[in-house]
Amino acid sequence: MIGITYKDAGVDIDAGEEMVERIKPAVGRTMRPEVMSNVGGFASLVAIPKGYEEPLLVSGTDGVGTKLKIAFALDKHQTIGIDLVAMCANDVLAVGAEPLFFLDYYACSELSPRAGAEVVEGIAEGCVQAGAALVGGETAELPGFYQKGEYDLAGFVVGVVDKSKAIDGTTVKPGDAVIGIASSGLHSNGYSLARKVVEKSGVSLDATPEGFDMTLGEALLVPTRIYAKPVLACIREYDVKSVAHITGGGLLENIPRTLPDGLGVELDNNWHVPPIFTWLATQGPVAPRECMRTFNMGIGMTLVVPTEQSDGVIELLKSKGESATVIGRVREVPEGEARVIIEGI
C-alpha cells in the first residue's frame, strides 16, 4: 500500500541530506584541535584548550533580526551567517573570552538546499573569522509556520577565559581612554527602523544613493565585523579594562553596561560615520539622539584602557586590519545624570 509520506506533509528529508552534503567542506574549515566529534552526531564533544589555569566557560546566544528581510528581498544569503556568528562572538568577547565553538538553528517552512547551504557557508566563514569551530546545529523544516522563501536563524557560542583574566570593568577609573573600533555599517541592529525608513523613502534596494559606493541593498547587507582576534590580541598585551559590544541601544546604553556605578563617558563625536547612517537620518528623518540609541553609528566596539596605553592599542588594532581611534574618556557621573555624553548630541 502507498500511504501518505513525510514529503506529502511538507518535509523533504532528501533536501535536508543534500544540504548536509553541501555544507561539509565549509564546516571542515572551522575545526579546532579541541573538537573530538564530527558534525552529524547527536551531540558534540569539545575539550577546553590547554594553557588555561582556571578556565571559565562563557556562553552567548543571538539572532540576526529583521536584517533577514533584506536577504530575502535580494535573495542573497551568503553573508547573513557571518552576522549570526558575529552577534554571538562579539558578546562573549566583552568579558575577554575566546570563542571556542558555535552551533546554529536554521528554521524554514520549505527547505531550499541552495539557500540553506549559503547561510551555513556564511556561518562557517564567520566561525573562521572568530576562531570558533562550527560543531553542529539544527535544520528544522516547519511546513506552514514561516512564509515561503523565508527562514529564521539563531546562534549559540561557547567561549573560554581564565577566571583571573575575565574583564568586568571593575578597574575602570576616571580619565581612562575610550577607544572606538569602527563598524562595517549597521551590523545587525536597528533594522526594523531602517526598513521603515527605506519603505518611507520609496528608494529601491537596487538604487545607489548619492555618496554610496554600492547599492542601498548591498549597504544594508554588509556583514557585521567580528572583533575576536584583534581584540584578544589587545587583551593579551595591554590593560583592557572594559569591552562593550555596541548593539541594540547603541553607544548610549551599551557602554554603561561595562562600567562601575558612578562612572560614565564623555565622547568627542570625532569618528567616521558611514554613509548609510547619514542617509537613514536624513530620509527618516531620525533625530540624532534616536540614531545614537538605535544604531551603532560607526562604532562596533569600545575598549577602555589607561590613557598612556591608548596609542599602543590603536596601533595593534590597525595592524590587525581594524580602524580605531580614541573617541572619549571616562568621567565621574553624579547620581541621576546621563552616563554617556556625546558632543553635539
Q: How far apart, in Å, are the Cα atoms of 31 and each of 72, 89, 109, 144?
A: 29, 16, 30, 35
Sheet holding 133-141, edge to edge: 55-62, 151-162, 98-108, 133-141
Contacts of 215 (CB under 8 A, 6+ apart): 205, 206, 207, 208
- What pLDDT does 171 receive? 98
- What pLDDT does 237 receive? 98
- What pLDDT does 39 receive? 59
Burial (CB count within 10 angstroms: exposed 0-12, middle 13-18, buried 19+), residue 137: buried
0.85 exceeded by pTM: yes
Contacts of 285 (CB under 8 A, 6+ apart): none
- What pLDDT does 2 receive? 65
- What pLDDT does 27 receive? 74
Q: Distance between CA atoms of 312 and 328, rounded to whole angstroms?
A: 16
Q: What is the dihedral of CA 46, 129, 126, 96, to 10 degrees?
A: 60
- What pLDDT does 13 receive? 67
Question: Which of 162, 163, 174, 330 has its CA nearest to residue 244?
Answer: 330
The C-alpha angle 127, 223, 328, rounded to 5 degrees, equals 100
Ordered domains of the chain (ranges, CATH): 13-165 (3.30.1330.10), 177-342 (3.90.650.10)
pLDDT tens for the chain, 345 residues long, are 567 766 756 667 667 677 677 777 777 888 999 998 765 678 889 999 999 999 999 999 999 999 999 999 999 999 999 999 999 999 999 999 999 999 999 999 998 889 999 999 999 999 999 999 999 999 999 998 999 999 999 999 999 999 999 999 999 999 999 999 999 999 999 999 999 999 999 999 999 999 999 999 999 999 999 999 999 999 999 999 999 999 999 999 999 999 999 999 999 999 999 999 999 999 999 999 999 999 999 999 999 999 999 999 999 999 999 999 999 999 999 988 999 999 988
At 66, list the grid cell. Answer: 529583521
Q: How far apart, in Å, are the Cα atoms of 197 and each of 138, 246, 282?
A: 34, 21, 9
Question: Which of 149, 175, 186 has its CA nearest to residue 308?
Answer: 175
- What pLDDT does 5 receive? 60
Is the distance from CB of 162 to CB of 55 less than 8 angstroms? yes
Q: Distance between CA atoms of 284 and 198, rounded to whole angstroms?
A: 8
Q: Distance between CA atoms of 213 and 227, rounded to whole angstroms?
A: 24
Q: Distance between CA atoms of 33 and 46, rounded to whole angstroms?
A: 9
